[in-house]
Structure 1
Amino acid sequence: MMIHPQYDPVALALGPVEVHWYGLMYLLAFAAAYGLAWYRSTKRDSWTTDMVSDLVFFGALGVILGGRVGYVLFYQFGELLQNPAYLLKVWEGGMSFHGGMIGVMLGMLYFARKYKKTPFQVLDFIVPCVPTGLLFGRIGNYINGELWGRVSDGGYNWLTYFPQAASFDMQQLQANPALQDIMTEVNGQYLLPRHPSQLYEAFAEGLLLFLFLWWYSSKPRPRMAVTGVFMLGYGFSRFIIEFFRQPDVDQGFILLGWMTKGQMLSAPMIVIGLFLIGYAYKRGIYDWGKQAAY
């Protein structure tokens, strides 16, 4: 089994300027999205590189603003009611993918109006670039040692001891003394082996989803289908991996004794994705290729 390396949160220091790993992951995510979108624009007659610059800018705003607002509304609503200023305390951390997704969709709606495109023309164009951002984001989570996975006694050699989880591990031990059999002392702390669920998510929601979407969208597909595949792919991956991810301490299992907030937010994505795919192929409207409706 592995011990989390305890990376220095500062990736790069240039005098008084410090670049944290999570911030660096955001920069890499936006750079990858821009590069991939720029490449796609060279393959589509109705897209230009100037459009891509605007598209990525509005998308970045949506990710940052929507991610923060979504986190507070979905996970810290009680804190918001007690202290509305909490919404602005971005230095304390807290971002939500589902909130960021809503923010990006709003940004894409604005972009669509500006350039006189339909919302799904825009979404189908950009969503294949999104999983790379998820890949970098989850790697950032792992580097920070946050959002760790659930305890496992499976003996898999990739299970990880997270020193950041030490206090929570002791709470779990008190609730279930049988866990003492798999607890190990690491540098004076007693830790439990956990799934590195951040890496599971980076692989499934990031790398695999990107490869499949990039391949799928490289050929003419009916309008809405690419967006539907993204919704279905992310929703299904996140729903499954949540079984290996430790629920947020202040949330726990909130439905049926086993469902997490992440699963509650992902389940509708699966349904919407299936609907969009079916509806897209039924309508059969193509925006490029031989079947395009000009």
Structure 2
Amino acid sequence: MLTAPTLLAAIPFPAIDPVAFSVGPIAVHWYGMAYVAGILIGWYYARRMVSTPSIWPNGQPPMTKTHLDDFLVWVALGIVLGGRIGYILFYDFPAVAANPLRAIEIWNGGMSFHGGLVGTTIAMILFARRNGIIAWSLFDIVAAVCPIGLFFGRIANFINGELWGRISDVPWAIAFPTGGPFTRHPSQLYEAGLEGVALFLLLRLLTHHFNALKSPGLVTGAFISFYAVSRIFVEFFREPDAQIGYLAGNWLTMGMVLSLPMLAIGIWAMARARRSAQLREVQD
């Protein structure tokens, strides 16, 4: 247990109102704005990508800006519905079963990245089939822009004072208002840095300097693999959800368990992309 002097020396939690602004009786939360900002900035970045022929196989982008405009609604629904349903199933099912109205209280947080990934994947597959687009190339576009949304989402988690880390006395530990009389790792900021900034820069390097988009599926695999490794790493500093706790000992969490198959899928996707690229080279 941390001592009182450690708590007094903690970095104070910034008192940011979770409500960004209000219009009459309607309160707009930072959490909701984070999703909007992530989707819109990601959409803008994706449009820039399809406007750069040199990064695509044979100089031919797999889709047009009009396709991206239409896809915006599909991906928004996939993220929100998948993220919320995933959270309910993976983390909060007993509480929602007892109070079904809790399922729609998205403004209070409770979104699962893993669920959002499944929802977005379903949306991408359906959209690609409907519009005759190579699914793996669409996956790559979404993977390249996804870290933008992850960054804003984790910053919103921090503002809300939720998903904080384990008890710690590191110099940058923070005493969160809902975290009890202890200083804790600001694990939301760790995730914003790894899953957001670092992952975006890695994928930017792959897409614009290493021709990764010319091997459909490679960027997708890199995104999934790096996210899984980052999430497993941060889980060692993040407090597990109270309603679940640790799954084994005092280290294994649901986030780790859900990330392990992601890592396997990511490695498979990268290997598949490389094999396909080698096969095309032989055929050419």
Task: Please indicate the TM-score interval, normalised by the length of the shorter structure.
Answer: 0.7 to 0.9
Match of 1:260 in 2: 253
In structure 2, what is the Cα distance between the partners aligned to 1:145 and 1:14?
23
In structure 2, what is the Cα distance between the partners aligned to 1:266 and 1:134?
15
Q: 1:255: how far off?
A: 3.2
In structure 1, what is the Cα distance between the partners aligned to 2:124 and 2:274?
23
In structure 2, what is the Cα distance between the partners aligned to 1:17 and 1:81?
28
- Please tell me the root mean square deviation across aligned C-alpha atoms, in Å: 2.1
In structure 1, what is the Cα distance between the partners aligned to 2:218 and 2:246?
33
In structure 2, what is the Cα distance between the partners aligned to 1:274 and 1:47?
26
Runs of at least 4 residues of structure 1 off by over 6 A?
A: none
Match of 1:178 in 2: none
- Give the conservation status (yes or no) of the 8 Å contact 1:124–1:227: yes
Match of 1:73 in 2: 89
CA deviations 1:55-83 (Å, max 9, x no partner) are 22211110100011000000122234445
Match of 2:151 in 1: 135
Q: 1:256: how far off?
A: 5.1
Q: 1:254: how far off?
A: 0.8
In structure 2, what is the Cα distance between the partners aligned to 1:150 and 1:140?
19
1:36 maps to which of 33, 36, 45: 45
CA deviations 1:1-35 (Å, max 9, x no partner) are 31111211211234444321111111211111111
1:165 maps to which of 175, 179, 190: 179
User: Please, which runs of 5 or more residues in structure 2 have no aligned partner?
Assistant: 1-9, 54-59
What secondary structure is seen at the aligned counterpart in 1 of 2:203? helix
- Give the conservation status (yes or no) of the 8 Å contact 1:4–1:160: yes
1:235 maps to which of 212, 228, 246: 228
- Give the conservation status (yes or no) of the 8 Å contact 2:63–2:133: no
Higher helix share goes to which structure?
2
Normalised to the residue count of structure 1, the TM-score between the two structures is: 0.84
Q: Percent identity?
A: 40
Does 2:274 align with 1:275?
no
Pairing 1:192-271 to 2, within 5 Å after superposition: 192-218=182-208, 219-221=210-212, 222-255=215-248, 257-271=250-264
In structure 2, what is the Cα distance between the partners aligned to 1:152 and 1:99?
29
- Give the conservation status (yes or no) of the 8 Å contact 1:33–1:56: no
User: Please, which runs of 5 or more residues in structure 1 have no aligned partner?
Assistant: 167-190
What secondary structure is seen at the aligned counterpart in 2 of 1:164? coil
Match of 1:3 in 2: 12
2:103 maps to which of 87, 91, 95: 87
CA deviations 1:61-111 (Å, max 9, x no partner) are 101000110000001222344455543343543111100010000110111
1:27 maps to which of 31, 36, 41: 36
In structure 2, what is the Cα distance between the partners aligned to 1:22 and 1:278?
36
CA deviations 1:203-225 (Å, max 9, x no partner) are 00001000111110224321211
Match of 1:52 in 2: 68
- Give the conservation status (yes or no) of the 8 Å contact 2:20–2:30: yes
* Aligned partner letter, 1:24: M
What secondary structure is seen at the aligned counterpart in 1 of 2:178? helix
In structure 1, what is the Cα distance between the partners aligned to 2:81 and 2:64?
26
Q: 1:201: how far off?
A: 0.2
* Aligned partner letter, 1:135: F
